[in-house]
Amino acid sequence: MAVSVDGLFAQFSSVLEEENKYREEIKVVTKEIESLARTLQSTIQLTHLRGADIPVICAKCTQVYPQIAQLFTKLKSFLKPEVYFKYRDHWKQSISNLVFVACFVHWLQYNTLLSIPEVEALFGLSWTYPANVTPSATPSNPPVGTFCVELEDYLFGLTFIPSELSRLCVNSVINEDFTLPLRISSFLNNLYGGFRLLNLKNDALRKRYDSIKYDVKKVEEVVYDLTIRGLLKKEAKETEMTPAP
């Protein structure tokens, strides 16, 4: 049965209105996520202040994680799996920013790097396969349309860490903490070595990776200065002389 031009475009108009309404619902939630991500990024800047209490700052950040998890749960409750890839650009950048904050904070607390599943668990992005689907051998290969931290988003988040740590390295010396630069240097060299194993095809990601070497060099210069001034030996000696609690 033939449809008139007016009738056809009336259908198009109805579909577009529904899509716009759906998109606005998504934007309302993702804007809240973006706002909390910016709050976290502002909070970690406090680590650079003189006399900063880093454990307290880290704890303040982790208290925000459940709020973000609730927002992602809300988003998952009405987002249809078949349109996941159509709208995922609304939250991709936020996920990279959250990966950066979570990994930065976790490293300060535990001196280790969070994995993708660990980041997903923090922000309510963990996924499970349906009962009738055999799990994949690859943890980063979730069912289609399932909320997750995609590998590229995770790697982008990691590339933000070196610049923040190189800045913290300098500020820790100002705060007379001469052991933190050594920790930072060791971690950044390992992180940079890990990225060198990857054959990156994404131009934007490769540019971010290329900038890491400058942060590594900056940290190495700080460690070198501390070494030739004998401050690292002095710090080690004072640590040995400090009585155990």
Q: What is the pLDDT of residues 20-44, one digit of tens each?
A: 888 899 999 999 999 999 999 999 9
124: left (phi over 0), alpha (psi -120 to 50) or beta: left
DSSP 155: H
Q: What is the pLDDT of residue 88?
A: 87
Contact 152, 93 (CB under 8 A): no
Q: What is the largest CA-CA distance in the chain?
A: 92
Is the confidence at residue 145, as pLDDT, over 80? no
The reported pTM is 0.85
Give start and end residues of each alpha helix (H) in the chain.
5-44, 54-62, 65-78, 84-87, 92-110, 116-122, 151-159, 161-174, 180-196, 203-228, 231-241
Q: What is the pLDDT of residue 120?
A: 93
- Residue range 221-235: mean pLDDT, rounded: 84
Contact 75, 147 (CB under 8 A): yes
- Residue range 149-170: mean pLDDT, rounded: 95
Q: What is the pLDDT of residue 96?
A: 96
- Residue range 117-137: mean pLDDT, rounded: 67
Is the confidence at residue 243, as pLDDT, over 60? no
DSSP 58: H
Closest of 241, 222, 238 to residue 182, by C-alpha: 222
pLDDT tens digits, one per residue of 178-219? 999 999 999 999 999 999 999 888 788 899 999 999 999 999
- Residue range 152-177: mean pLDDT, rounded: 94
Closest of 103, 143, 147 to residue 125, by C-alpha: 147
DSSP 113: P
Window from 7-11, 63-67, 83-87, 167-171 with minimum mean pLDDT: 7-11
Q: What is the pLDDT of residue 29?
A: 94
pLDDT tens digits, one per residue of 111-126? 999 999 999 999 988 6
